[in-house]
Amino acid sequence: MDINKKNIDVDECELNIDNCDENMVCINIPGSFSCSCNLGYYGTACSPCPENSTSLFGSVSILDCKCELFNHYPDHQTSTCLPCPLGFLLDASNTCQSN
């Protein structure tokens, strides 16, 4: 075995040979690559956050989507931001809690 032989990493992202879809960004890692959701997307399929909300890079849950309107939470079924019911406030985990 040649001890002078070095492992050379192929940057699949730079060469555009990754399989990340258009809502993902490719991240090169030694010997491979990974895909993470772009801003405004979440989950393993990188679904768009509901209307009037956004998420950070690499978000994994709809709960990572934050609504722009005060005391509103992202609703996956309607793909919108809905207000918390009267007497409830949005907490840090993006769910409505009674106050």
DSSP 3-state assignment of 64? Answer: helix
- pTM of full prediction above 0.85: no
Out of 6-15, 48-57, 68-77, least confident range? 6-15
88 within a domain of the structure (yes/no): yes
Please enumerate in sequence order all residues whose Cβ is within 8 A of that of 39, keeping only pairs 6 or more positions apart, or say none: 54, 55, 56, 57
Q: Is 15 domain-assigned?
A: no
Q: Is residue 74 part of a domain?
A: yes
Q: Is residue 8 part of a domain?
A: no
Residue 25's pLDDT is 95
In a domain, 56, yes or no: yes
pLDDT tens sequence across 5-51: 567 889 999 999 999 999 999 999 998 999 999 999 999 899 999 98
> Could you tell me the two tokens for 29?
């890692």
- 65, part of any domain: yes
What per-residue confidence (pLDDT) applies to 93?
85
Does residue 53 sit within a domain?
yes
Residue 85's domain comprises 24-98
- How many domains in the chain? 1
